[in-house]
Structure 1
């Protein structure tokens, strides 16, 4: 089996289904719609003949910027905006907006096209059948029910803990319970371990994560998507949060990249790759665990990308945290970095992702001009620079960016110059 990459010639129907019950219950529509605001980054996956289905519109300035950076003519691409429908999957939102026939027409005009989803859920598989396209990389038969079940299970904290334990991964001590039983089990865990971490069983991006101790006993409310199962874990003395991204299928599991996550109170705010320093000392064990997990997924019929998140304590011990069996916050930016670096002859790029607030408000065009004027914009001749991999932020301030270089040491200097140029808040 050959995994599809952004540079394959076969056209792709890039399906940005951030609204998916894999990550959180569809009833938590406000949270899911917030995540869906990141859909413009899928623009970096597109090549000639590709179609993007996105729950949010992309500005003309951002579309031109991404297309020019990738040496693709904008008229070779098709972007279909699917207005979100609260509490509904993206497939139902397409139907509700009356866009199904438009998608079928685009598919008919592109022989060989296949659907490339952000999350492999049952609704996207049904939609692919409805418009007459295979799901990458499964072919016409599509994923099996067993594959869909293992994807759903391993996108929960409890499902991952069961599999990780069976595969011999080291994990924080923890228990699984319903929200109604949280108080009693939290009190027991705090008495035994001191500080603990509470995680909704099905969540992503740190949503709902709560840190508790004897001096901070306030339990989280049972809001939308948070009234079901939870995991309570001992709070480790964390020095580094790391992840590894792999791809798996019938021919085995391969590593795509690994790096260190930037987090704030458990929420993802950035990434740095490759692993360096103390974080790099755990790389071999992280790879072994990732391959084991990938082989387990493949055994159950799954084929495609997935990630394994872990933490390293101050004494250098690696602990597994969770798996994400879908395209993650770093998958598409990594594809972008790989494409841009290849055009510059940069074989092993160092890169980072950041999210910072600017003190001033900029349009997308203004921000790009600032990069260009200060010689910070990605330059293939110089083989380094900054890329805004997302469109202009809705609040005008919170920018998501990538920094790329041939040297890991140069990333920090470029990011510092970017912070000064954009007047980022401390």
Structure 2
């Protein structure tokens, strides 16, 4: 990601755009990943985050990015569960941000999500939101982002655009039990989804053999989507950038690693899928981007889909924000360009060590094993996330010249750090 003016990178992981704020546990886990936005930074930038990156992680990232650690500023916002990132004002940090912006003429705010709290704060600070121009962000763009980050909103727009989605119904909470029964009687297997959720949060899989809706029936406020459960072979996505006045740009595509429907990692570029299927996925993503741009939205978004056992493609949701693939994709592109090598295959994932380790010790182990990313050879492991709170659940990226080599490096990493078998393996 190129930028000439400084950025205030806004890691607004308490956004109400992707997940309903009562989902405190999910938002807390996402907040722990906020330091990963360090990979977007350049000299003069400011990172506003609910969790400060540790000194060793910051040095590691800045070293690989060739950014002097002292040239970036980190502002930590105390976490306030149940609120959006207006917590900046509650913590008395507005004046500091205003001063930092004043010191950086032309600075722009780069948010994870275009939510209302972010737009309001940018206005109070007199900052433009990247990549919007002097006219700023229109209400239509924000409203569209909120709508397209719901399952129901996406399904409605997909119908307008000719994007294939799984058979399903949208219902209010009070009608959830009846909708589930009707869908289960018709299709045998169904999946129940909260209308506003991400990363597989809150999915419930039911069938005639396992029909109990459980506690959902008693705590079902808001809207829900009940879909036929498909025979999924692959979970895929395409990541794009919407550009008002220009065609959307495809940035990358790949396959999501999932466990019980929940996101656990990403592999790019997309492989092992028929070329026609990839073209269809990109065509759907482009159609969605045109729809977004026509309503004033500019910036990153993603389209998630599944490939069934018979090779059919179904779109499942849109994510109108920076997604879990956006930042690592930008990181890989930047590292590869700095190293002077061509396109790279890559993955991001997590592994769990038998005992707790500190960040410097884990990094040292990678270097001792010759697994760490080195520009001269254009491959290796990057500790993509900071030291985990438990010292064991490490997030990493593997970069290489092709998928085969990336898989070899990941296997060597798992042996070197003695990763436990993933939950649900086999």
TM-score (norm 1): 0.96
**Is it true that 1:316 corresponds to 2:306 in the alignment?**
no
**Is it true that 1:70 corresponds to 2:65 in the alignment?**
yes
Asked whether the 8 Å contact 1:196–1:211 carries over to 2, the reply is yes
Aligned to 1:340, which of 335, 356, 360?
Answer: 335
Q: Which ranges of structure 2 fall in alignment gaps of 5 or more residues?
A: 422-426
**Is it true that 1:413 corresponds to 2:422 in the alignment?**
no
Going from structure 1 to structure 2, the CA distance change for 1:289 and 1:380 (only over 3 Å counts) comes to same
Distance 1:347 1:280 in 2: 22
Shift of 1:226: 5.6
Aligned to 1:327: 322
Partner-residue secondary structure (3-state), 2:215:
coil
Distance 2:219 2:142 in 1: 21
Distance 1:60 1:223 in 2: 46
Aligned to 2:148, which of 150, 154, 170?
Answer: 154
Asked whether the 8 Å contact 1:208–1:226 carries over to 2, the reply is no
**Is it true that 1:165 corresponds to 2:156 in the alignment?**
no
Partner-residue secondary structure (3-state), 2:213:
coil
Going from structure 1 to structure 2, the CA distance change for 1:290 and 1:393 (only over 3 Å counts) comes to same
Shift of 1:281: 4.8
Distance 2:218 2:372 in 1: 41
Distance 1:55 1:106 in 2: 18
Aligned to 1:108: 102
TM-score (norm 2): 0.96
Shift of 1:30: 3.1
Distance 1:214 1:287 in 2: 35
Asked whether the 8 Å contact 2:174–2:220 carries over to 1, the reply is no
Aligned to 1:82, which of 69, 73, 77?
Answer: 77
Aligned to 1:192, which of 186, 193, 201?
Answer: 186
Asked whether the 8 Å contact 2:188–2:207 carries over to 1, the reply is yes
Distance 1:237 1:222 in 2: 24
Shift of 1:331: 0.6
Distance 2:174 2:383 in 1: 43
Going from structure 1 to structure 2, the CA distance change for 1:66 and 1:226 (only over 3 Å counts) comes to farther
Aligned to 1:27: 22
**Is it true that 1:384 corresponds to 2:375 in the alignment?**
no
Between 223-232 and 263-272, the greater mean CA deviation after superposition: 223-232
**Is it true that 1:118 corresponds to 2:124 in the alignment?**
no
Asked whether the 8 Å contact 1:305–1:327 carries over to 2, the reply is yes
Distance 2:157 2:258 in 1: 25
Q: How does 1:398-409 map to 2 (within 5 A)?
A: 398-409=393-404
Distance 2:5 2:306 in 1: 38
Partner-residue secondary structure (3-state), 2:128:
coil
Distance 2:247 2:63 in 1: 36
Distance 1:398 1:342 in 2: 29
Aligned to 1:9: 4
Aligned to 1:142, which of 136, 146, 151?
Answer: 136
Going from structure 1 to structure 2, the CA distance change for 1:327 and 1:225 (only over 3 Å counts) comes to farther
Partner-residue secondary structure (3-state), 1:231:
strand
Aligned to 1:258: 253
Going from structure 1 to structure 2, the CA distance change for 1:260 and 1:279 (only over 3 Å counts) comes to farther
Note the alpha carbon deviations across 1:56-79, whole angstroms, 9 max, x for none: 121100010100010000110000
Aligned to 2:424: none
Shift of 1:55: 0.5
Partner-residue secondary structure (3-state), 2:129:
coil
Shift of 1:225: 9.4
Note the alpha carbon deviations across 1:1-24, whole angstroms, 9 max, x for none: xxxx2x322110000001111112
Asked whether the 8 Å contact 2:177–2:217 carries over to 1, the reply is no
Q: Which ranges of structure 1 fall in alignment gaps of 5 or more residues?
A: none
In the TM superposition, structure 1's runs of 4+ consecutive aligned residues that sit over 6 Å from their partners are none
